[in-house]
Amino acid sequence: MCNSFLGIDISKEKFDVHLFKQEQRWSGQFENNTKGCKRLSNWLKKRKVGRLHACMEATGSYGELLAEHLYAEKYKVSIVNPKIIKHYGHSKMQRNKTDKMDARLIAEYCR
């Protein structure tokens, strides 16, 4: 069973993340390239993340590198239909939309 949940809002140039680890929460932003993936791994290790479930919306090819990187790190990765996240946001009455808030919403859905 996972004890940490990572929501990822991904775009061509960058990705925003929101991490839930028990009662703790962190947000971050990384470049969407190999260097950014490695920085995310170090960021997770710094927070002593063990078993992790990472979720991201299906965005075509933008998320492939990161999904493969997280999978290679032995984390559980889910790629979710964006419509599901959109409807989940409506159910939570989320009206404001920023990349940081989307990452948090995806983490909540993942949890």
Instruction: Residue 100: give its domain's CATH number.
Output: 3.30.420.40
**Cα angle for residues 84, 71, 2 (degrees, 5° grid):** 70
Provide the pLDDT for residue 111.
Answer: 87
Q: Report how many domains make up the chain.
A: 1
Residue-wise pLDDT tens digits, 42-53: 999 999 998 999
Provide the pLDDT for residue 95.
Answer: 67
Q: Which domain holds residue 88?
A: 4-110
Provide the pLDDT for residue 96.
Answer: 66
| pLDDT < 50 stretches in the chain | none
Provide the pLDDT for residue 89.
Answer: 86
User: CA 47 to CA 20: how far, in whole Å?
Assistant: 11
Instruction: Name the one residue in this structure whose structure tokens are 């004890």.
Output: 3
Q: Say if CB 50 and CB 25 are below 8 A apart.
A: no
Token readout for 92 is: 């939570």
